[in-house]
Each structure stands twice: as C-alpha cells, then as structure tokens.
Amino acid sequence: MPPGTEETVNVAGTDLVMVRGGQGRPVLVLHDELGYAGWMTWNTRLAAERELLIPLQPGFGKTPRLEWIRSYRDLAGFYARVVRDLHLAPVDVIGFSAGGFIAAEMAAADPKMFARMVLVAPLGLKPVTGEIFDFLAVTIRTHLRATVSDPDSTPEFGQIYGGEMTPEQFEAFEDARTETARLGWEPFMYNPSLGYLLEGVTDLPTLLIWGEKDAVLPQGCIQAYQQAMPHAQLVMIPHVGHRPEIENAGAFVAAVGAFLASQ
C-alpha cells in the first residue's frame, strides 16, 4: 500500500491539510500532541483494508492556526464541522493521546457522529490515580524519549525522531507544543466535565488501547475512561509505552482491525 498523500481541502472555514491513503471505508485518524509523525508500518497495514483520513491540526505548521479555537472542546467542535462538511458521519475514528481527547469530546457532544471509536492512550480525563506527565515542562528531546518504552528497540522511533533535529523539524515540534499549551495548559490535558458527559454515551462501540509501560499517561486515565464508559473494551499491550502503534505495530493493527471489523 503506497504512502498517503497530502491534499488541501477548504472545509470548516479554513484550508485544512489532510493526509489521505488506503482503500475501503474511511477512518478518521486524529494525531497526537506532537503532530502527524508520517506514514508508518501501522498505517500501511491498516490502509490495506480502510481509507485513512488524517487531518493535520490547525496551528501545527501546515494548517493555519484558528484563533477562535481556545480549548480542546473548541477543537472537537471544529473537527465535528469537518465531519459534517465532508459528509462522513457516521465514521469510524482513531484518536491518539490528545487526538483521543478530541475524539472523546466529539463523542460526548454527538455520539452518532461515529460508528466506532478507538482511543489510544487517550488524554482528556483526570486520572483516578497518578498524574499525566507534564511534557511541556521538559525539553522536546525528553518529551520524545518519554513516549516509547525502549527507543533502541523501536526502529520507527529512530525513523521519526532519530539523528540531529533539523531547524524545520524543531520548529514544527515547537509549533505543536505551543498550540498544545494554548489549548490544554490548565487543567493539564484534561477537561473536568468530559467524564460526566461521556457517561451518557452508551451505544457507541469503543476500544481503549494502552501500553503497560506508558510513561506519559497513567493507568488511572484508562480507569477514568472505564468508569465513564463501562461498555468500552480494553486492550493492554505489554512491553510498550505511549506509542503502541510504532512499538508493536502487529499487536496494534490486530486489535484495531478486529474491533473495526466486528459487528
């Protein structure tokens, strides 16, 4: 399956850059707080069965920043309009970390927007126990290192982040961190009201994926999602951290593929 290609669509009042690739029914993919990492092994494998639609978040370098977006709930409203304008609903969605936060906000507002929802190490809820790693209080290199359990045994981590960081790459990361801070600084990367609103979402099939060595998102966040959405399934992938999709692409794609294909 060839890599996805970038296109610009005028939607929801702006020029949104989107990566599109694969074949089959579409899946909306919401990237994490570091931005789109590029077309990886997991993308290729999943794209053999599904068309991946990956919008690049406003303010992350390629899609213009939108000043009216002031919170993750605002950002969720923006993506909801993207779904409406592109006539995608009901669409399957995969949200990674902050992208999971966005997807959860969208589901809380209108669960019929989605057919199935996959939340991968999702931010958005206050942990029952533990604390979300304050990745904005450390250097970008420390932040990157914290996202995987063992960088040396994760080839795609080196492909994305290895070697000397170019000025362009550094600027892209700083753009992402600046926008993330603007939207999620206080309280840090969760919304106190989100859990209460998710409690009413009972008919949306939901899969939670978490790596047992995640140093960014404590298990207490997963427990908070399970409390709000007790019907949600959980797949815990051993020996991986916050990026299970690159640390164990086989297990990740198997879990996601089976869930999306289930009736």
201: Cβ contacts below 8 Å, ≥ 6 apart: 107, 108, 111, 229
C-beta separation of 216 from 146 below 8 A: yes
How many Å apart are CA 100 and CA 104, to the nearest integer?
A: 6
Q: Would you state the structure tokens that stand for residue 10, as one six-digit string?
A: 């005028």
Q: What is the pTM of this model?
A: 0.97
Four-residue CA torsion sign, 222, 78, 69, 67: positive
Q: Which of 93, 132, 98 is nearest to 221 (CA)?
A: 132
Q: Which of 250, 258, 240 is nearest to 41 (CA)?
A: 250
The identity of residue 41, as a single letter, is T
175: Cβ contacts below 8 Å, ≥ 6 apart: 35, 59, 60, 61
The identity of residue 218, as a single letter, is P
How many Å apart are CA 68 and CA 12, to the nearest integer?
A: 12
Whole-number pLDDT of residue 168? 77
Tell me how crowded residue 231 is: count the other CB atoms within 10 A of its CB.
11
CA 47 to chain centroid:
17
Could you tell me the fold of the domain covering 5-261?
A: Rossmann fold (3.40.50)
As to burial, measured by CB atoms within 10 angstroms (0-12 exposed, 13-18 middle, 19+ buried), residue 261 is exposed
As to burial, measured by CB atoms within 10 angstroms (0-12 exposed, 13-18 middle, 19+ buried), residue 178 is middle
Averaged pLDDT in 10-residue chunks for the chain of 263 residues: 90 94 97 94 97 96 93 98 97 98 98 98 98 94 93 89 73 89 96 97 97 98 98 98 97 98 82
